[in-house]
Amino acid sequence: MSDEPLSLDAAIASVRGPGAGAIATFVGLVRDRTRGRRVVELEYEAFGPMALAQMESIAGECESRWPGARVAIHHRVGLLRVGETAVSIAAAAPHRAEAFAACRHAIERLKEEVAIWKRERFEDGAEWVGLGP
């Protein structure tokens, strides 16, 4: 987890290895529109120690489900502008099918349960995502 810009290369480098035949990556970006409103910037807040433990646990889950897989999950926190990277995931595996599957699993699990919250800032206000109307 970092409040500095993320490097996908760093995530890739951390999972590269002699057993890896493929690396699948996912990059999540700050989009300029949501639910019909224009987003000015996004703020990510984390419960750091808990979120880190959850991210490690998700990587471990991928690695035991797809033997030989290695997964890195990097998340940005703080204030992000449109177009910036919020999350980078790299999943290495012996073959491409497991690499894609592990990468997909990691991002879906991350969004389900990791203690990170997003506040969208619009031109006319801000709101925490996930609370509904």
| Residues near other proteins (CB under 8 A) | 28-31, 42, 44-45, 47, 49-51, 53, 75, 86-87, 107, 110-119, 128-132
Residues 91, 99: Cα–Cα separation, whole Å: 5
CB-wise, 17 or 48, nearer to other proteins? 48
CB-wise, 20 or 110, nearer to other proteins? 110
What minimum distance in Å lies between the beta carbon of 19 and other proteins? 27
Other C-beta atoms lying within 10 Å of the C-beta of residue 35? 7
16 by Cβ neighbours in 10 Å (0-12 / 13-18 / 19+) ranks as: middle
CB-wise, 45 or 61, nearer to other proteins? 45
What minimum distance in Å lies between the beta carbon of 7 and other proteins? 17
- Is the Cβ–Cβ distance between 92 and 15 less than 8 Å? yes
Three-class SS state of 23: strand
What minimum distance in Å lies between the beta carbon of 114 and other proteins? 4
What minimum distance in Å lies between the beta carbon of 54 and other proteins? 9
CB-wise, 20 or 120, nearer to other proteins? 120
133 by Cβ neighbours in 10 Å (0-12 / 13-18 / 19+) ranks as: exposed
